Structure formats: C-alpha cells, structure tokens
Amino acid sequence: MGALPLGRWAGISSEVPPAAPFTGSPTWLQWGFPGKPRSSATRGAFGSPSRQCRGLQSSGHSLWGVLLSPTPSSPARDPQGSTGGCCRRGAKLAFGSPEWACTEAGVQVSFCSTHTHPSPMMWSLLLSTLLMFLSGSLQTWELKVTRKQENQTVVELRGRQGQALLVAPDGSVRCAQPASEKQEPFLLEVHPSGAWTLQQEHSGKYLESDGEDVFCISRRLTSSHMWMPRLAMHVHVVLFNPSLQLYARADAELKRIWVDTPVPYLEECSFILRFRDGVYHLETANHKFLSRSEKLVKTPSAETAFHLTLKPGCLAFFSDRQGRVLYPHGKRGLLCLGHSPVDSGEWFVVQRCPQWVSLRTRTKRYVTVIHESDVFAGSKKVTPMSIFHFEVNPSCKTVQLRGTNDSYLAQRECKNVVANGYCGEPETNFHVLWHCGKICLRASNGCYLGSLPVGLVAARALHPGPNEEFSLRLANRSFVLLRGPYGYVGCAPGHSVLQCNFLEPDCIELLPCKHGVYHLQTRGKSFWSLTSEKTFETGGKSALNFCLEIRGNNLLAILAPNGYYLRGDREGTLKADGEEVTSETLWEF
C-alpha cells in the first residue's frame, strides 16, 4: 500500500487565484471539433430552474456552450476515438487584440457565472459559440438575451473583457471593442431539429461558416447557417423535471428510469451524457443506457441515441429520430417516448450532479439526524438521515451541511449541533481543515465538532484531535469523472499513461478503504500506479492510497501517496507534483 504523508493539514480557506478554472457549480456547453483531434474544453456556469429545487440551492440562470458548424464532411475523432464534429475544417476569425491571437497550441477562453437572478425578459445566457480556426482552436462567448419575441430571442454576443463579435459591412466577422453601443444584435431561433440560427436583426443576414471562415453575408436560410449546440457542462448530471418538481432515477432491478425523486441524494439519480456522432446516449450510474424501448441496455447503439434540444431558460428535452420525446408517463413517472406530453412535461433542467457526503467518526459511527433535529454519531450504516449536501460558500470560505430533510446543521446553545438551521444563519457555517483525507469542522463559536461518549455531536474542542476528525465519504459517487483546465482525465485505447486532455472522460472508480482514503482505478483496468517521474499509469498490481479533499462545489483536490496534489500541465500530462491547492490542482467532478 502507498503510505500517506503525515502532518499535512489544509484548510478550505487556502488561497486560490481569482482565475481558478471553476467556481461555484458550473455547467458547460461544448461542441465537437473538426480538423485535428482536440483536447481542450470550454467552461462556464448553468443556472437552476426558476423555482427553488428541494435538495439543491438555486443559482443564476446562465448557460455556456459551443456551436457546431454544419459543414458536412467526415467527423474527426478525439484521442479516445469518439467522434467530435461534422465540419471539414475549423472556421477562422480575425481578432482585434493580440491576447486573442490564435496559436498552434490552441486558444481557450472561459467565463464564470454572474449568479444573478434576472427578470423574465432580461437574463443572461452564457454561451460558448464555435469560432474555429484552422488549428482547431476554440473561443468562448457570452450570449446575452436582451428580449424575446414570439419564437425568437434577441441576443448580443460578447467575449471576455467586453469585446464584441462584430460584423463588418462586407460580412466579415471579427472580435473587438465596439465603436458604439449600437451594434446590431442577432435573432436566435431554435428549430425543430434542435439546430440554432443566428440572424442579424436588421440586415437579416445569417451567421454561417464554410468550414474555414465565419462570416455573415446571406439572407437566404440554408443548411450552412444551422449551428448544432452541444452541452459543455460536466457530463455527470442530474435531471430535474420542473413540471413534476422531481428528479429522474434509474431502477437497476426493473431496468427502467422513473421521475419520482424529490431529493437527488442517491447515486441512482445521477447520469452521464455521452455525446457521439451528434447525438446523446443517456448512461446511468451503473453504466447502462436508456433505449428507445424504455429499457436499460448494456451498450450504446442507434437504439440508445437521442437528440437534445436546448431552450433559453436552461431547459432541454430528449427526442428520437422519429420525433418522439422523452417524458414521464403515468403516476409513477416512467420515462419513455411519446407524442403528447402534458404541461411541458418533456422539459428537464440539466444540473450538475450534487456532492452528497457522509461523516464517520473514529469509532466508525456515522453522523445521523434522529428525532427530526437531534444529531448523533450512533449509526453503524449509512442511512438517508446520515447523508448531507456539502455546500461550499466561496465568498466566506465556509461550508454548510444540508440534510435530506432540507435543514442545515447548526451550532446552538450548550455547544450542541442540531439539524434545524436555515441557509442564511451564521451558525450553519463551518470552517474546514483537511488532514490526510479526514475533515475537521470548526463551528461559529470557534470550537471543533466532535462526538461525546454518548454519541452527541457538539462543538467543544478548541484544537482538533483524533476525536474531532471525521472520515468524509462521497455518498452518491462510486466513481468520478475528473476534468481539469485542459480536459478530462482518461487513458487512450491501447495505452497505459493517464492524461488530462480528453473530450470524453473515463470513469475513475473510487474504492474506499479505512482511515479516510481511497484507492483509484480506471474502469475496466487495474489500479493507478505512480512512476518515478510523478506521472500515472494504469496496470498497477497494488493499490495506492489517495486522499480526496472537496475544495469547492463539485471541485476536488486529490492528494497522491507521495504527498503532492494531482496536477495537469498544458501538454495534458497528469502529474503528482502540486505542492499546494491552486487552479491547476483543482478538478471538477
């Protein structure tokens, strides 16, 4: 077994640069890439539905993504062999600033959500629009929805630092600071096929690509004006149905998917969105795929392929090639295809898979809520009342623990911890200290949480010791899909070296062991092994110990057996050489 370093402590308040790649719980839009295989990805944030979802805290209405150019040709394949586009070559664009210049290594620009709650007629849709180069580069843009009219939406396209996508009189497209505030907006129209068109509001010209350039000259709608969006959010998601106010759940025994869960704390509520050849395959947590026959099958095929139609307002629905849509049927909410959904029941909000955790003491007892609000460390097994949503507040660098009963743990009088808090209470905030996979929680009274001999959880110790250390487990994850600044962690077919620059992720299985550590292995392969160059390979015969530290909403820092954090470099190499938590050592999961 790999030995863990001793005496390594780290707090949740560790300084992370403002330009850290992920903050909050971002959601992504992404498109396939033509030309040479790509390893980069765009990022951004995706809001939750307008009504508060039970079990999850609402964030702003925002969306990120990329548009796939429709120019027909043989789709390129990414390093893992999946198809990633339908363009012959990338479209190039002239930029008005040197920092936007394209390089052979590619350009990747990203934004974070503003996390505001705009009015129904004025909200921001953050979109990563495809502006490809011959080198296969990618740019990210903000698509701001200014108003809606009939079935169209009026939008403005802006890049980082306020630079706008501008159309010259000759139809050429460039990125620069607008000469005036009256640049011509675009009409965004969503077509029945799921494709989008962007048409200048006054001139009527469509944004298009010929596979090499992006321009805006034609008023006649053709296939070259169609842009097919692909979600670029992290592919590990939950599906919330606003009509029923319930989440989808996979039933492994009956091989069905039901929309019947109010709080998505079960791993069965999580899904993986697999994008191949322009369509999606909905994969369950036990790696089965939803088919058109409503059953779960083992392998993806044409029978498991669905089109995903996106709608401003962070909504999406799945449909098959015959035009039927997926929506919940009957009292139990069986998810299957049909033609007549009721009350817009086909629409789902695609949300990041939330991080539900359990806390276990050194006596192997789980922190559990009993009698509605009392908190004891007495259960030997994980129950629904011993699972908590781990919510990180980046502004004050604290965490909150929300139970499945929708109440927060709070430090009350007599230093006891009770599960009757609400989101805005200072007593529900806890400062975090990490130590070799274990977590210490400091309450608002300055004392650390621990369990008394009778099992009662209270904040009484001024300094953390063994009694104040809890083993934190991801309660709804038997695997993770790690994504860094340059792509997902994975292993190319026929190779053993682990890299972090893939468009499609490999499932990394989490094998929990004692003392708050995990063993990692790539699904279908053997354990991870650490080389002398501090890189990783699959094929290890003995398991190594890794420590997982939750450093943000859906953000992990992973401590390797050599005492360093996992880091991804610009060449896509996964290394264990990070001395502290920085933007390069944070992994979206």
Please report which helix (H) or strand (E) contains residue 500, including its range.
strand 499-502
Using CA atoms, how far apart are residues 83 and 106, in angstroms rounded to an integer? Answer: 19
Claim: this prediction has a pTM higher than 0.85: no
Cα distances (Å, whole numbers) of residue 305 to 67, 74, 157, 278 = 20, 19, 31, 9
Q: Locate tokens 């009504």: which residue?
A: 51
Contact 419, 427 (CB under 8 A): no
Q: Could you tell me the two tokens for 453? A: 């001999």
Contact 196, 163 (CB under 8 A): no
Contact 184, 204 (CB under 8 A): no
What is the pLDDT tens value at each position of the chain, 589 positions in all? 444 333 344 444 333 332 222 222 222 232 222 222 223 322 222 222 323 222 322 222 233 444 544 433 332 333 333 322 222 222 323 222 222 222 222 222 222 222 222 222 222 233 333 332 222 334 456 667 777 766 678 887 776 567 788 888 899 888 777 665 567 889 988 787 777 889 998 899 999 887 777 889 999 998 888 887 777 688 999 999 999 999 999 999 999 999 999 999 999 999 999 988 778 999 999 999 999 999 999 999 999 999 988 776 568 899 998 989 999 999 999 999 999 898 889 999 999 999 999 999 999 999 999 988 999 999 999 999 999 999 999 877 899 999 999 999 999 988 899 999 999 899 999 999 999 889 999 999 999 999 999 999 999 999 999 999 999 999 999 999 999 988 899 999 889 999 999 988 999 999 998 778 999 998 877 899 999 999 999 988 889 999 999 999 999 999 999 999 999 998 999 999 999 999 899 999 9
H, E, C per residue of 152-170: EEEEEEECHHHCEEEECCC
